Amino acid sequence: MFPHRYAIGKEQFVREFDVNVVESRHALSDPDWLARHPQARAADLMEAFADPSIHGIISTIGGDDSIRLLPYLDLAVIANNPKVFLGYSDTTVSHVACYRAGLVSFYGPSVMAGFGENGGMFRYMVDSLRRTCFSPTPVGDLTPNTDGWTVEHLDWSNPDNQNRRRTLSPSTGWRFLQGHGCIRGRLFGGCLEVLDWLRGTSVWPEPESLEGMLLFLETSEEVPSPQTVTRMLRSLAAVGVLERAQGLMFGRPGGQSTVPHEIYDDAIRRVVVSEERLHDFPIVAGMDFGHTDPMFVLPYGVMAEIDCDAQRVRIVENAVV
């Protein structure tokens, strides 16, 4: 739909990381045709996993109907062919499938939203991706972006916008809302709205696989209200996710919201503290991942740590070998 945006994202990624990028069979097909054939998109994904010459798979964009791929995914193919899988937003569907298959995958930029950034990729994102997906050493500290953040949308249909840097708002750091001491857990999460759709599907994790996890959640550019966030968190509580988690990392709200971000903090605490009575449950909000730019990358299933007293977050393991 926006071929120039795709081309620039591919070019900027290749230039920065010196990789060879190949398109899957249907990646550049007509969008209307792809919308009618989710099985073709799933086949692309399965072929990419099965191909030993492919070392990583990157989402072109999230895709608001990614859940339609579920009937056509083969978890055995994913499990038997571990490799980097990267994307965010509705790509949460495929991430949860990878998690169910036992694969580490990576919640981070896509070709068009991230690599195709107006005026060049943000260095904060590039550095995070390099540490997380291109290095076999422990990822280390996750630090707040200090260069400014943005959720501004410049119309992708206008190629002239590609050279225009988006307006950045001042960074004020992350908000450590509650918790004491230092906790560890394996990362699991994604886009909150998509996780809400996935509950009860064939790829939803078995309860025991979520025991002791460190939950990361963020909201999309569609800007769900704080009341909607409350309801979705209640749903996660109802299926036992919150009680099994060690702590919560919440991304800066995406989209052009006029609601102060701190109002979302109140929605989180309403469920976690007032309703679920998790008074010492560590919560860090306003973090730089998901539908905010620049973003850092989070590897599913890898051990991370929140030190509430030092107000520090780090990933204590390597995510690739």
Pair (79, 180) in one structural domain: no
Pair (33, 101) in one structural domain: yes
Is 150 a member of any domain? no
How many domains does the chain contain in total? 2
Is 152 a member of any domain? no
Tens of pLDDT, residue by residue, the chain (321 residues): 799 999 999 999 999 999 999 999 999 999 899 999 999 999 999 999 999 999 999 999 987 889 999 999 999 999 999 999 999 999 999 999 999 999 999 999 999 999 999 999 999 999 999 999 999 999 999 999 999 999 999 999 999 999 999 999 999 999 999 999 999 999 999 999 999 999 999 999 999 999 999 999 999 999 999 999 999 999 999 999 999 999 999 999 999 888 999 999 999 999 999 999 999 999 999 999 999 999 999 999 999 999 999 999 999 999 999
pTM of the model: 0.97
Pair (183, 282) in one structural domain: yes
Which of 138, 172, 190 lies at the terminal end of a domain, its last residue? Answer: 138
Which tokens sit at 290?
């998901």
- The amino acid sitting at 73 is L
Pair (300, 232) in one structural domain: yes
Which of 82, 104, 138 lies at the terminal end of a domain, its last residue? Answer: 138
DSSP string for residues in 243-287: HH-SEEEEEPPPSS--S-HHHHHHHHHIIIIIIT--TT--EEEEE
Is 294 a member of any domain? yes
Q: How many angstroms separate the Cα of 161 from the Cα of each of 7, 31, 128, 157, 222?
A: 14, 22, 26, 9, 22
Expressed as residue numbers, the domain containing 194 is 159-315
Pair (166, 122) in one structural domain: no
Is 191 a member of any domain? yes
Pair (62, 121) in one structural domain: yes
